[in-house]
Structure 1
Amino acid sequence: MSDVKSLTIGVIGAHGKTGSLTLKALQKHGFESIVAFTRNVIDPKKDQTYDPKFIKQINLDLVNSSVSDLVETFKNIDIIIFAAGSGDQGVRQLFTVDVDGVSKCVEACERLAVKRFILTSVINVEERDFWWSLEGNLRDYFIAKRCADHEVRYSKLNWTILQPGWLSINNKPTGNIQPLERIEEQRMNGYTIEREDLAEVIISCLLNPQTTCMKSIPLSNGDTPIDKVIQNLK
């Protein structure tokens, strides 16, 4: 996939915080064909993230779309980045977006033989002792993300699952993440990672399929340049 920048990249959840930053990162790195899947079409005069010169917007109602609908919607897409999430909208949205939304997209992408599927998830999703006692809706969130991860991992797709810690937009991007063999050093900090750094990790994964395909990658800000960590994954 050496000519990845000429492929058509579709971002699901493009109007969300991570999705918007991913669009900006794709443009910055010279990707030539970007599709933003949004629940409502955004006026580019009001939000310059969606510059029609670089990004095509396609309306996508993920909750109410059937798999057949998604097949039609994705038919010209080479790579899907799934950055959508229900946020704090409740358990029903966790089921319809974070679980079934992923499931339907996986089925559609399998039918189309989409070249690559990148999912944003959450750290330590397999470690119940880590999240079972969390307060509020966080336990439900982790359960949903675990189900979605399994849907992707056991699919026929060429997948990458990114598992960041707590996402922040309070500071400037660092350009650094923690090497996987030392990720536990960041546990006491909640494995915090800047959203802009997560977007850069997504780009690095696109550019380095040889080290990132068919892998789940836990993420936290750290002390090592993003590309160095990604390029040295085993």
Structure 2
Amino acid sequence: MPEFLLFVAPNTCARVPTIALEEIGVPFETELVRTAANQQNSPEFLKINPKGKVPTLVVDGVPLTENVAILSWLNARFPEANLLPETSDAFESAQQIADLSFFSATVHPIVTRVAMPLKFIEDKALSFEIVRPVGIEAMNKIMNMIEARLADGPWWYGDTWSALDGYLYWVWGRITGVGYPGENYPNIRRHFDLNNERPAVQRAMAREATNIEVLKSEGLYRAPR
């Protein structure tokens, strides 16, 4: 069995592969990256991931980055965990990659505009008055689409949970955690609640809660706002 070490930080999309690994049930360790102390740009971490980002999954000492790649590899390595539905041809497999890429390349950047507007304009007032409202407007279009998709079943692919549901769980929790108005999306709210009932999600969130307490004890925790 390979050894797994996942570099994480609370509230980041590292929550997604944490949930996936918990769903698989394979033993793994997490390593907290203290982003408030800029540890992601330390020489030590940059040797592991020159991009300076989490998540980074280290498998037998070799790093793998980017959620699309991490989730795709985990699905291929542990097919019995059903992180993604079984496909019958290359085109169906490509559609799954498109779904993963949608969350990674389309939804995630908008999450950043909603949840972390200061990344785009350092002026606090302008970032919250300009960047966040534009992000919310763009997010509304995406959430309308996802709300309609979930009308056909509780999960992204209908009746069966997948890693895409872990990704949507992170997105919804991240944006509503900073005040995104979610009252018009009952299907997504149901989806979030159903995820919270999953033991794997509960274990992943417990890991994250432990890391939050560590950061608080060190004076390095920055709560979402």
TM-score (norm 2): 0.32
Query: Larger relative CO (CA 8 A, sep 6+): 1 or 2?
Result: 2
Structure having the higher helix fraction is 2
Instruction: From the CA coordinates, give the structure whose radius of gyration is larger.
Output: 2
TM-score (norm 1): 0.31
Structure having the higher strand fraction is 1
